[in-house]
Amino acid sequence: MPTLTTVIWIVVALLLVGVYLSWTAGRLDRLHARIDAAKAALDATLLRRASIAQELATAGVLDPAASMVLYQAAHDARQAEEEQREVAESELSQALRAVFAESAQLEAVREAPGGHETAGELSAAVRRVPMARRFHNDAVRAARALRSHRTVRWFRLAGHAPSPLAFEMDDEPPPVLADRGHPSED
């Protein structure tokens, strides 16, 4: 009978290992789904920011030089290939900071018809980018940490899925647009 007991313990141990591996694979799958959702949200946020910036650049409320700089950066961000996206989005952030370095440009936007709404939309869009990027990068960090565990590597629980990459960009908003307590948002 000792062999039957040994067999039962081996089966129980294998069952526990199987349950653990299945749970870990499921967790990894959920993390990859979270990355996909966070990436989609980040893409939508970046597209919204670029669209508002492009709209503003063509509205005729900014001085011509600022309009050209902002339009070109927003256009490049919207048209960038995936490999160049981080650079293009960083350049849009820099263009927004350059155009809105002083509050005079923001005041010019607000004075135009519908300007308060446009300024509010742009302000909200530039504040959402760092948050969306942080959510995406946190999900990537969690997935990469789990993928680095020996168990995941040994049993190839990640399959052939490529390792997720963080989205690194300059997302610092212009100070005049980052101010939450601004009267334009009342």
pLDDT at 184 over 60: no
Distance CA 180, CA 21 (A): 46
Residues in the chain, total: 186
pLDDT at 185 over 50: no
pLDDT at 147 over 60: yes
pLDDT tens digits for 25-75? Answer: 999 999 999 999 999 999 999 999 999 999 999 999 999 999 999 999 999
CA neighbor of 76 nearest in space, from 67, 85, 65: 85
Residue 177's contacts (CB-CB under 8 Å, 6 or more residues apart) are 96, 100, 106, 119, 122, 123, 126, 127
Tell me how far CA of residue 170 lies from CA of 92, 122, 133, 167, 174, in angstroms.
9, 17, 10, 10, 11
Q: What dihedral do alpha carbons 156, 158, 168, 92 form, nearest 10°?
A: 140
186 pLDDT band, cuts 50/70/90, is very low
> What pLDDT score was predicted for residue 109?
93
159 pLDDT band, cuts 50/70/90, is confident
What's 101's DSSP letter? S
pLDDT tens digits for 72-100? Answer: 999 999 999 999 999 999 999 999 999 99
Residue 173's contacts (CB-CB under 8 Å, 6 or more residues apart) are 93, 96, 97, 126, 127, 129, 130
CA neighbor of 76 nearest in space, from 101, 93, 62: 93
| Residue 29 backbone phi and psi in degrees, to 5 | -65, -40
Rg of the chain on CA atoms, in Å: 24
Cα end-to-end span (Å), the chain: 79
Secondary structure (3-state) at 4: helix
pLDDT tens digits for 164-182? Answer: 999 999 999 999 988 764 4
